[in-house]
């Protein structure tokens, strides 16, 4: 695809850039799991025929319970194992949209973390919710608790919407801090929504549902499989919620989805079980960290500096900050696209004001087949070197 035929005014959100990447040659844009399933689960596709046959004789409600139980064991959540308030939707975006429909009716004034992927804000706003931002920096350490709660007390809101781990910063809200946040929401009678779609990349898992249930706050937790298991965009998103949210939310869900695919849920049940058996670190973290190390080794001595916080999570992405402010993230991303290399511009993660300069960050995804990933990274490196060289020459010509 010739990127020059797409004007900047046609690209208004991150999904627009992801679509370009999907059509392009070297796609490092979207965060979907496109790595080789044989890398962590050798021979798994050969099991699909058996799973298909089993799904034909399995009731939907049984498939849902098996899916939930297997996922609960994988993440170590005893509360989820026994929880009855849950639904399964086709994708995390569907789940966010359903939760947004509920919040628009019950708790429409929302404080949403920033930066984060812009479709959260877009879906919430499209449903009629009113958004205010809270900076990601508040959630990096529990030492910020007093500052956070003072800030929240100054805002007029109904719902706190957080992403944990956060995409793209890598911030992970630790267990003790989550207890404080849930307690605050319960005391102030605020709803708490957690987007945990990158959960399995956290270096340490804890039972956040147990924390929220004990706190007594109204809550939703949104899970995802699409960022973790490479199943060619076959996905399942688990939504769990507090008892007080159940009646209205289940009406909304049933209006949109009768149920999710039995085959899909039983496929993921099998993948969850294998992941638990092999270990999350070996199955999920190690392949990502291998590609991340390769990426950083090739990006040395370029104008792009890695800034994702990887101390608490091995996210399948990297957030690069460009040293110079002479050019913007769009200048860089559009130049890379002319070389058929596709990454995401940083400004749209700042959903509250995507036109605020200067933004010189871009995001690179790691969930790709190793051989293709390495080839794409080589092209990314070459294109960045060429970009820097061309702009240096332009500056020298202006000065002369």
Return the SS3 of 113: strand
pLDDT of 1 strictly over 50 = no
pLDDT of 32 strictly over 60 = yes
Which residues have CB under 8 Å from 136's CB, separation 6+?
A: 113, 114, 115, 116, 166, 169, 171
Please state, in angstroms and rounded to a whole number, the distance separating the CA atoms of residues 292 and 29.
15
Return the SS3 of 269: helix
Q: Identify the pLDDT of residue 397.
A: 54
Q: Identify the pLDDT of residue 323.
A: 81
- Mind listing the pLDDT tens digit for each residue in 192-216? 999 999 999 999 999 999 999 999 9
pLDDT, mean over the chain: 94
Q: Identify the pLDDT of residue 325.
A: 76
Please state, in angstroms and rounded to a whole number, the distance separating the CA atoms of residues 276 and 263.
20
pLDDT of 266 strictly over 50 = yes
**Residues of the chain above pLDDT 70, percent:** 94
- Mind listing the pLDDT tens digit for each residue in 360-392? 999 999 999 999 999 999 999 999 999 998 877
pLDDT band, residue 147 (cuts 50/70/90): very high
In the CATH hierarchy, which fold is given to the domain comprising 3-30+280-399?
3.90.1150
**Residues of the chain above pLDDT 90, percent:** 91
Question: Lowest-pLDDT range, 128-142, 286-300, 348-362?
Answer: 348-362
Beta strands 361-365; 344-345: pairing state: antiparallel
- Tell me the β-bridge partners of 241: 220
Mean pLDDT along residues 227-241? 98
Q: Is the pTM of this model over 0.75?
A: yes
Q: What are the residue boundaries of the structural domains of the chain, listed by start? A: 3-30+280-399, 45-277
CATH of 45-277, one of 3.40.50.12280, 3.30.43.10, 3.40.640.10, 3.40.50.2020: 3.40.640.10
First-residue to last-residue Cα distance in the chain: 37
- Mind listing the pLDDT tens digit for each residue in 180-189? 999 999 999 9
pLDDT of 156 strictly over 90 = yes
Q: Are the C-beta atoms of residues 172 and 312 closer than 8 Å to each other?
A: yes
- Mind listing the pLDDT tens digit for each residue in 112-124? 999 999 999 999 9
pLDDT band, residue 324 (cuts 50/70/90): confident
Tokens at 88, concatenated? 């399964």
- In the sheet that holds 304-306, the strands lie side by side as 304-306, 317-322, 361-365, 344-345
Can you spell out the DSSP letters for 360-378?
A: -EEEEE--B-HHHHHHHHH
Question: Lowest-pLDDT range, 21-25, 69-73, 389-393?
Answer: 389-393
For residues 78 and 327, the model is more confident at: 78
Q: Identify the pLDDT of residue 5.
A: 42
- In the sheet that holds 159-163, the strands lie side by side as 86-89, 237-241, 219-222, 191-195, 159-163, 109-114, 130-135
């Amino acid at each position: 695809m010739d990127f020059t035929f797409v004007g900047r005014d046609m690209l208004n959100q991150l999904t627009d850039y992801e679509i370009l990447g999907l059509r392009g040659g070297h796609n490092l844009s979207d965060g979907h799991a496109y790595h080789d399933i044989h890398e962590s689960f050798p021979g798994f596709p050969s099991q699909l025929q058996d799973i298909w046959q089993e799904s034909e004789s399995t009731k939907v409600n049984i498939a849902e319970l098996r899916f939930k139980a297997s996922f609960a064991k994988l993440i170590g959540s005893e509360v989820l194992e026994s929880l009855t308030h849950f639904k399964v939707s086709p994708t995390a975006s569907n789940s966010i949209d359903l939760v947004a429909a509920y919040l628009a009716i019950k708790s429409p004034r929302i404080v949403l973390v920033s930066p984060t992927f812009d479709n959260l804000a877009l879906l919430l706003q499209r449903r009629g919710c009113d958004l205010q931002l809270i900076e990601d920096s508040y959630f990096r350490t529990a030492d910020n608790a007093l500052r956070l709660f003072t800030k929240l007390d100054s805002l007029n809101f109904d719902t706190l919407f957080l992403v944990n781990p956060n995409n793209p910063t890598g911030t992970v809200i630790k267990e003790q801090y989550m207890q404080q946040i849930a307690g605050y929401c319960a005391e102030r009678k605020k709803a708490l929504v957690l987007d945990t779609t990158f959960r399995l990349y956290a270096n340490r898992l804890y039972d956040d549902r147990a924390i929220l249930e004990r706190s007594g706050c109204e809550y939703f937790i949104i899970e995802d499989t699409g960022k973790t298991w490479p199943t060619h965009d076959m996905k399942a998103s688990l939504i769990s919620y507090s008892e007080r949210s159940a009646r209205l939310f289940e009406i909304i869900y049933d209006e949109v989805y009768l149920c999710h695919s039995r085959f899909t849920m039983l496929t993921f049940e099998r993948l969850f079980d294998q992941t638990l058996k092999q270990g999350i670190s070996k199955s999920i973290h190690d392949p990502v960290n291998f590609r991340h190390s390769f990426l950083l080794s090739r990006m040395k001595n370029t104008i792009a500096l890695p800034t994702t916080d990887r101390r608490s999570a091995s996210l399948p992405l990297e957030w690069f900050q460009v040293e110079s402010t002479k050019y913007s993230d769009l200048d860089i991303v559009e130049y890379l696209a002319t070389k058929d290399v596709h990454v995401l511009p940083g400004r749209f993660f700042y959903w509250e004001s995507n036109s605020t300069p200067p933004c010189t960050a871009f995001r690179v995804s790691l969930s790709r087949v190793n051989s293709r990933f390495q080839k794409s990274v080589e092209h990314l490196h070459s294109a960045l070197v060429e970009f820097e060289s061309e702009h240096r020459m332009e500056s020298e010509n202006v000065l002369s």
